[in-house]
Amino acid sequence: MSKSVIICRCEDVTEEEVIQAIEQGARSLEDVKKITRAGMGYCQGKTCRRQIARLLAEQTGCPIEQFLPGSFRMPAGPIRLELLAGTEEMEE
């Protein structure tokens, strides 16, 4: 894969930038996120975290499972449009 390939499309982070972050000491998805912003865009890492984990595994020699999160949480939950429009009272 070319080092100019975009790994995180939301934040335009390239493979080369991720590898540089790993060379600077990043040892987790969170470390790479803090250094490069990869995984901080609209999709919150849904499309790039597996590629970042693959690069971490390749560069460190550790198994990829070590870098993949056990679960994925979205930062917010769905809300009905009626609530946003104010046409319906919120239930508590």
**Mean pLDDT estimate for the chain:** 87
Q: What pLDDT, on a 0 to 100 scale, did the predictor assign at position 80?
A: 80
Domain with 62, as residue range(s), is 6-85
In a domain? residue 92: no
CA distance 92 to 83: 12
In a domain? residue 80: yes
pLDDT (tens digit per residue) in 75-85: 677 778 888 78
Question: Percent of the chain, pLDDT > 90?
Answer: 62
In a domain? residue 60: yes
Decide which of 7 and 75 is more confident. Answer: 7
pLDDT (tens digit per residue) in 36-63: 999 999 888 989 999 999 999 999 999 9
User: Nearest 5°: phi and psi at 38?
Assistant: -60, 130
Domains contained in the chain, number: 1
In a domain? residue 35: yes
CATH code of the domain containing 79:
1.10.10.1100
What are the angstrom distances between the C-alpha of 13 and each of 8, 10, 19, 39, 52?
5, 8, 11, 9, 10
* Tokens standing for residue 61: 């020699």
In a domain? residue 50: yes
